[in-house]
Amino acid sequence: MGVMGKKILIIDDDRTLRAILEKALIMRGFWVYSAKDGAEGKRMAEEELPDLIVCDFLIPKIHGLDLCKMFKASPRFHHTKIIMMTGVYKGSFGKTEAMQCGADDFFQKPVETDKLLGRIFELLNLDEDEFTREFVMTDTEESEDG
C-alpha cells in the first residue's frame, strides 16, 4: 500500500490543480485518489477512508464546507485530517469558515505546493526528509534490479 500506506483524497473541480497535487504526492509515495465534485469525493472517502483530505470550498454537487462538517461528524473519519482551500473567500473569512467546520488547516489559492506538502507531512506526523529518502531509496533499488 504505498510508502507507509498513507491515503490522500483530493476533492477539487480544478483539473490542473488536482493533477499537480496528485503528481507531487505520488512522487512522495502516497496513495492518491481524486474527485472532481463533492458527491464523488464523499463516495471515494467512504470507500477508501483516507488519512487526509484536501478539499476546495466551491465544488459542484456538495459544498466543500458541508463535506468537511459531514466527515468531522462521522466516527468513521475520526482519524482523517482535512485541509480546506479556496481562491474565492479572501482574508480571514475563509480560514474562519474552514475552522468552524472542523478543518485541520486552511490554504488560500493559489496554493504553494511545497507549503501544502509540508503541512500534509506535519498533520500525518511524518518526517518529510525521511519519508522522501525511504521512497527514493526503494525506487532506486528497484531500478537497479530491473
pLDDT in tens, 70-109: 999 999 999 999 999 998 877 788 899 999 999 999 999 9
CATH code for the domain of 82 = 3.40.50.2300
Cβ pair 20, 52 in contact under 8 A: no
Quote the cell numbers at residue 45. Answer: 472517502
- Per 3-state DSSP, the chain is made up of helix, strand and coil in percentages (nearest 5) of 55, 15, 30
Question: Is residue 131 over pLDDT 70?
Answer: no
Cβ pair 57, 51 in contact under 8 A: no
Domains contained in the chain, number: 1
Distance (Å, whole) CA 26 – CA 3: 10
Q: Report CA-CA distances (Å) from 24 to 43, 114, 115.
A: 23, 9, 12
Distance (Å, whole) CA 22 – CA 122: 18
Residue 132 pLDDT level (bands cut at 50, 70, 90)? low
Range of the domain at 106: 3-145
